Structure 1
Amino acid sequence: MAVVLTEFSGGVAVICINRPEVKNAVNLEVSEALADAVDEFENRRDLTIGILTGSGGTFCAGMDLKAFARGELPTIPGRGFGGITERPPKKPLIAAVEGWALAGGFELALAADLIVASSDAKFGIPEVKRGLVAAAGGLLRLPKILPYPLAMEMAITGDPLTAHDAFKYGLVNRVTEPGQALAGAKELAARVASNGPLAVRATKQVLSMATNYTDASAFVSQRALTDPVFASADAQEGSRAFAERRPPVWVGA
């Protein structure tokens, strides 16, 4: 079974992470497949807008920590986690979120331009709970959307935000009934796809530049702080503790 599924019709690309057995956790194979799917979406003139979603009732649980503990990093040079976070598509992208959007999964949603979420969806960057850092755009993008104190609380506690609170604070565009996030995203995408494709693409690019939403230099600047964390003993301990279903024992190094 393909780890990423695609559907193209009516000017809309639907890209679905398809690892439901691990809550759509992203490994290198998924990142490479997502990058390929986004490239096809970008290169096809008949597609105006894309939707990113996950199968099995979960958007994405983030990085595959078991793969990380084996030494695998699900990032692509110049493109980042999932092949998207450091270089989102130039065309608009909607995240259709059911269930959890956690860690790198939330960062994939933040790399999108719009979010449609089911009422039972939850969003979080719990990396600190595993001795890691939300270095795939979470710490860079979240305070540009949420009030700074709320973004900081989410980041340093690792606690999640409900769909309704995310809507209240402007993180989510639409809240649907459970199981209807993709349908809601398709309805929104159809409204966009009825517009001029060149105008839509240019509008997205100018608006994103105006807010520094995809500022590539910020990713470079943060690496001096975040790379040592990922190389630390605590990062390995947090990932092993997750895999072994036990509390981590931190050493601060």
Structure 2
Amino acid sequence: MMIYTFPKLPMIVFLTLALLAASAFSQASSEVAVFSHTPHQGSPCVPLKTGIVRESDFDTVKNNRNCPGEKLPTVDFAKHTLIFYTVRGDCFMRVSLRSVTRNNEKKTLRVELDNLWGRCRAGGAASGFIAVDKIPDDFELEFIENKIDGKDSGQLRLSNERIEMSGIDLKGCMNPVFGRNEIVLKSAEDYLKYARNNTAPENCTKRISSLDFDKFIYAGVIVRSGYCGTPLGLRHWAFKDKNENTVVIRIRYTDPKGSVCRALSRYEL
């Protein structure tokens, strides 16, 4: 079982997980200032698709009298680039703009949204306009939608404080707890509590000597991704929530577009 390790922090209360579709973040990317974000709850009335909105298209939208209730931003196209998006979920869904970044090497503008589902059986939709500092006309839009279950709403309060972390392999020594997707190991006693005792217990006991509980906290995670083994494109980050005593681990991997493994598709991290 692979365990994530990050520096020990005082007063950590619990661990929150975010399982997201994958897209690696390049170090060449930089944050783009957001001038305005005009969200709209419900299906969009304006005849636009997700993408960068040209000035001529926006003029057409402003003259569309079929959408009197649609909020439209005030945009100076000489200074700003306008983006429109539509996402779907359930009737209680909420959308939060996470970040807008540009990559000058790839000539891309990346918009990342959190689509927080509210656990409603009926369908729903949300749309909106995002105005940012103007980018060159030859840039392309990269749109990232993070579909998040409502029970993980706490992760929307992430600060920018990123925590260094890495993965280690305990070679199957951890025994996952039924009904839980994660375990947190803060001490040697925690390790022995969750360690397997039916497969080479002496090796698992010896492995504890390589763990430093004075400096690190170890978090075990189970990912049910649809893959038989390591999910394709697996990435992971840890953040400290500035509003709560919480560490959030974000996990990304490539969506398999349906189950690709006929065996039990559970991967222990």
Q: TM-score, normalised by structure 2?
A: 0.23
User: Larger C-alpha radius of gyration, 1 or 2?
Assistant: 2
Structure that is richer in strand per residue: 2
Q: Which has the higher contact order (CA 8 A, sep 6+)?
A: 2
Structure that is richer in helix per residue: 1
Q: TM-score, normalised by structure 1?
A: 0.24
